[in-house]
């Protein structure tokens, strides 16, 4: 029997799920405040979607995707990120015909074949938002402010926001010439992947994980120094709006992000030197995937890394209490009554449990203790005859008699 999950995957057992629910509930509540609606998309897509959308010169497409042929001979890929699939859904479901901008969020699993490390797995989970149709710097600022507000609301201090502009096709044309001239001096040292990128997409070399390429990339010219007037004005406006909102940031010209679809604004948010959120604007992606010329902006936030950071800082709530009441029983008649009362309690919204294992009373009491039951009642022949049972508060030993007729309402008063 297989007893271990595949490398790079991780179970979330019942005693851990509450941490995820806590983060997800906070996300859904804040997205509602910002006017974002939830969208759900398939876990796999046609491979071409990611090759065209994410970019065939990125590490994600070249090295990290889980791609296979289905039984019909079609190439499909487990989603490595959320944006491309959401753009496809935006087009296929005619969301562009609804009120603009379209503001969407998602909670999803993603898949990348890379070395597992702290907060990063081969199957990981991501919270993301996408706004389609708004090209204004105000949309950039709103997207960034949502991420910052969520992290602050969860109690994280010392957040650091880094922003940059990666320009548009106009200013990137001249920039790529400069990059080819610079990296062309190091063709004897660049990895094979980056040598292939040199002509096709030299900006990807800056994002290479190879230590040698990474060191060479530190001396590369930066696009922020040679933006066109339109990109420069947009980026300056984003910075002005963030300042007016009281959101501190640093301009980091080395941020390019690892996906090809980004244009102008890109950003990362760090907590304890870990990148917990990253995103930016992608004004050409919708058109690249077959839609009309539509601006877009969004971000992705890894939930594993977020929850790990919250845990390190003792910012997660206590584990929720177990059953509010456990009904132990002695004998078949009492067991039937206990089950009926349990059903009535649950219909009244009370967390209730009763025996399913034919245990002794002593074993039932041990079980009640293990599940942290707040109250326990033991039903036997005497209780059935009297039509009343003593309900014991486990923390104090205090006992209160409650009639079996109307037991749910009586217990509610006690709770």
**Both tokens assigned to 147:** 């991420």
**How far is residue 32's CA from residue 25's CA, in Å, rounded to a whole number?**
11
Q: Which residue segments constitute the domains of the chain, with CATH numbers given?
A: 14-168+228-312 (3.30.930.10), 325-414 (3.40.50.800)
Q: In what order do the strands lie in the sheet with 44-46?
A: 44-46, 75-78, 67-69
β strands within 49-122, DSSP E: 67-69, 75-78, 102-111
The answer to whether 96 and 90 are in contact (CB under 8 A) is yes
Low pLDDT (below 50) residues in the chain: none
Per-residue pLDDT, 258: 63
Provide Rg for the chain, Cα atoms.
Answer: 28
CA angle 217, 222, 227 (to 5 degrees): 155
User: Each residue of 151-184: pLDDT tens digit?
Assistant: 999 999 999 999 999 989 888 888 888 889 999 8
- Residue with tokens 């004998």, as numbered in its chain: 331
Beta bridge partners of 69: 75
Dihedral over Cα of 254, 260, 266, 272: its sign: negative
Which pLDDT score, from 0 to 100, does residue 1 have?
57
Q: CA of 188: how far to CAs of 201, 208, 340, in Å?
A: 18, 16, 78
pTM: 0.89
Q: Which residue has the tokens 């029997």?
A: 1
pLDDT score, position 66: 95
d(C-alpha 338, C-alpha 354), whole Å: 6
Are 129 and 28 a contacting pair, CB within 8 Å? Answer: no
């Amino acid at each position: 029997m297989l007893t271990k999950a595949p490398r790079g995957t991780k179970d979330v057992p019942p005693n851990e799920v509450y941490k995820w629910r806590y983060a997800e509930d906070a996300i859904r509540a804040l997205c509602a405040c910002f006017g974002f609606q939830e969208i759900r998309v398939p876990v796999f897509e046609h491979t071409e979607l990611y090759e065209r959308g994410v970019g065939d010169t990125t590490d994600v497409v070249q090295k990290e995707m889980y791609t296979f042929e289905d039984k019909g001979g079609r190439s499909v890929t487990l989603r490595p990120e959320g944006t491309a699939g959401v753009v496809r859904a935006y087009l296929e479901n005619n969301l562009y015909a609804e009120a603009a901008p379209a503001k969407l969020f998602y909670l999803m699993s993603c898949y990348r074949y890379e070395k597992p490390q702290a907060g990063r797995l081969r199957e990981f989970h991501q919270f993301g938002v996408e706004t389609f149709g708004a090209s204004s710097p105000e949309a950039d600022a709103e997207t960034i402010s949502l991420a910052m507000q969520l992290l602050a609301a969860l109690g994280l201090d010392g957040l650091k926001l880094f922003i940059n502009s990666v320009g548009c096709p106009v200013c990137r044309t001249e920039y790529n010439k400069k990059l080819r001239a610079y990296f062309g001096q190091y063709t004897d040292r660049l990895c094979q992947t980056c040598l292939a990128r040199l002509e096709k997409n030299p900006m990807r070399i800056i994002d290479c994980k190879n230590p040698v390429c990474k060191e060479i990339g530190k001396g590369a010219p930066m696009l922020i120094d040679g933006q066109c007037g339109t990109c420069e004005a947009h980026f300056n406006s984003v910075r002005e709006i963030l300042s007016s909102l009281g959101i501190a940031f640093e301009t980091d010209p080395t941020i390019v992000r690892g996906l090809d679809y980004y244009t102008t604004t890109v950003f990362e948010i760090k907590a304890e030197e870990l990148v917990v959120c990253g995103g930016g604007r992608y004004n050409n992606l919708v058109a690249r995937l077959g839609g009309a010329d539509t601006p877009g902006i969004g971000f992705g936030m890894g939930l594993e890394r977020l929850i790990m950071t919250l845990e390190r800082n003792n910012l997660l709530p206590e584990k929720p209490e177990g059953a509010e009441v456990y009904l132990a029983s002695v004998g078949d008649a009492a067991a039937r009554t206990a089950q009926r009362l349990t059903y009535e309690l649950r219909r009244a919204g009370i967390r209730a449990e009763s025996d399913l294992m034919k245990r002794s009373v002593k074993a039932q009491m041990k079980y009640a203790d293990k599940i942290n039951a707040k109250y326990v009642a033991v039903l036997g022949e005497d209780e059935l005859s009297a039509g009343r049972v003593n309900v014991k508060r486990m923390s104090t030993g205090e006992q209160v008699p409650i009639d079996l007729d109307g037991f749910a309402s009586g217990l509610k008063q006690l709770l």
